[in-house]
Amino acid sequence: MEKKQSCKVAVIQAGAKLFDTEATVNKAIKLIEEASKEQVDLILFPEVFIGGYPRGLHFDTYVGIRTDSGRNDFYRYASGAVEIPGKETDLISEAVKKAGAYVVIGVIEKEQHFQGASLYCTAVIFGPDGKILAKHRKLKPTGSERLIWAEGDGSTLPVIETPFGRIGVLICWENYMPLARAAMYGKGVDLYLAPTADARDGWFASMQHIALEGRCFVLSCNQYVTKDDYPEDVRNRPIFSELEEELCRGGSCIVSPLGSFIEKPLIGEEGIIISELDLTQITKSRFDFDVIGHYARNDVFSLTVNEKKQQAVVYVQDEITETKSVHQEENKELDTKK
């Protein structure tokens, strides 16, 4: 694959329509179309853009107590989750194909053809032909996210080779996990994608640190959310009267491999950040620090990453029964010949 010396990226800061997956998918398609007018190579959406980040909801859960109203909220939320692949990803795939760009979008994922209620915070990676190349499930939901999201495992830690370098994804506070970052660096990530729901100032410092540590471009993408993105029945709940109209201020940004902002955090509005990245900066920045190369101490430190898919139930065929069946078939053939 011939390597490009530059690439054009689009970081989309927009709000999802909570409890309205159809409307959010349609919004995503329009945003992909809008970004593609700039002839971009890569489009990044925020964490759980499809399915939504239920900021402010507590699902009526307390230590040792669950309620019918909380279960109803969870059912409503789970009903908006998507299968991969599924009808929602098929619609997005068509838009991606028209755009001809790599697209990474956060979704709430549910298992295919399964009535279980385990949901995953997932980033889906589409190729420019519209095909799903890979997905990454968040390894560790943060705080009360653990009430509604299950954990991913090491089987979904992809780094994708593209004409403009390797892209990898860690979601929100996974980026505070040193070993998770090391797993990305070990795969040679060049464009480090960090969709998030964290809009605090400290997050921006972390993005600069990761760019310096990995000597890679860091693209961070957050939603801009107001109460208008929530259904009226949710907005009218007492807890929401205490919250500001602006539920998430955004803060999407792009950082260079030497830690400086190429695009400063976008605050207080929806928008699409478009930037042309000079990919030669990656090698130049690694001249004096290569975290998995000349600056590593493999004789002192090492990391083992378990990429095996973890399953609650493993079905193993009875080899003795299978052997008997084979012999029985062979004997039948012999009897027929006789």
Q: Hey, which residues are catalytic here?
A: 47, 138, 172
Tokens standing for residue 142 = 């943060």
Taking phi over 0 as left and psi of -120 to 50 as alpha, with beta for the rest, 219 belongs to beta
Q: Are 55 and 225 in contact (CB under 8 A)?
A: yes
Q: Label residues 220-253 b or e (16+ Cβ within 10 Å = b).
A: bbbbbbebebbeeebbeeeeeeeeeeebbbbbbb
Q: Label residues 136-162 b or e (16+ Cβ within 10 Å = b).
A: bbbbbbbeebeebbbebeeebbbbbeb
Distance CA 185, CA 181 (A): 6
- HSE-CB for 80 with a 13 A CA cutoff: 26
Rounded to 5 degrees, φ, ψ at 6 are -150, 160
Angle at CA of residue 184, ends 183 and 186, nearest 5°: 65
Helix or strand (DSSP H, E) at 289 = none
- HSE-CB for 316 with a 13 A CA cutoff: 4
For residue 158, say if its preceding peptide bond is cis, omega within 30 degrees of 0: no
Tokens 């992809």 found at: 158
3-state class (DSSP) for residue 115:
coil
Pairing of strands 217-221, 246-255: antiparallel
